[in-house]
Amino acid sequence: MPAPYPLIEIPPGDFSNQFDYPAISMAAAHNIFIQGVNAMAAHALHVTDEKVQPFMLFCLSVLEVVHHHHRVEETYYFDALEKKLGEGYLTESKDEHGTFVPQIEATESWLEDVRDGKTIYDGSGFLAQINSWADDMIHHLNHEVERLDREKIKECFTVNELKAIESEFMKVALKDANFYTSLPILLVCGNPATPWFPPFPLPLRWAIRYWFSRRHREAWEFGLLDLDGIVKPLPSPPT
């Protein structure tokens, strides 16, 4: 299916309810990735020569956010949940990473070659690369949310246990995040329907908008939102 790719429907429930939070927050995070892919696809055929380098940084930053999310899942989050959900409960989700991550890595290598002057940018070829792995990625993103069923979570965890997991998740996620690339992506590829995600404290949001985003400001122009969360007009993606 060619871009634009549909966002994941946010599961029913209340974001502030600890048993609803895992599925809702996972869907919100996954929608950032889809927003990023849609922004890449929307601009792919419209990038002028002088904008190729900032566009490469934007695209590489989107893919790094996807990789970072997977690292946190595989090194902390899945294990933390499986202590109560049962060993192997999320193995299928982990295995699904292998159905599209190698293809993303190939695209990443191509983007790096363009950035480094080894390859000439080709918008049609880039769009074809995106469409070669996006369906598998989005299937996985939807399936992973389904595994975090509210009733299953409530059956296995206490509120305090979930709060502890989410608190540690945030620490692990921020520990090796690139504040100058990954964090601006989370804002400019956000979903207007979930303005509360990511659940950053207000001082950190201000710091991203007014400090960390400054180093590569031209790259963030390719986001679907501006740094204040306002939807921007973008080129129509090819059909």
Mean pLDDT, contiguous 10-residue spans, the chain (239 residues):
83 93 96 97 95 98 96 94 94 91 97 98 97 94 94 96 95 92 96 91 94 96 94 69
Please indicate, yes or no, if residue 4 is contained in any of the structural domains. no
Is there a domain that residue 226 lies in?
no
Structural domain that includes position 204: 21-220
Q: What is the pLDDT of residue 1?
A: 53
Contact 47, 63 (CB under 8 A): no
pTM of the model: 0.94
Sign for the pseudo-dihedral over CA of 134, 146, 200, 5 = positive
CA 184 to CA 189: how far, in whole Å? 8
Structural contact between residues 140 and 99, judged by C-beta atoms closer than 8 angstroms? yes
Q: Does residue 7 belong to any structural domain of this protein?
A: no
| Dist. CA 68–CA 103, nearest whole Å | 16
Residue 163 in domain:
yes
List the CATH number of the domain containing 216.
1.20.120
What was the pLDDT predicted at 237? 47
Tell me if 59 is assigned to some domain: yes
Domain-located, residue 6: no
Structural domain count, the chain = 1
Dist CA 72 CA 163 (whole Å): 17
In a domain, residue 142? The reply is yes
**Which pLDDT value is given to residue 2?**
63
Residue 173 belongs to some domain of the structure: yes
Give residue 46's pLDDT.
Answer: 95
**pLDDT tens column, 199-210:** 899 999 999 999
C-alpha to C-alpha distance for 194 and 13, rounded to whole angstroms? 13
- Is the preceding peptide bond at 235 cis, omega within 30 degrees of 0? no
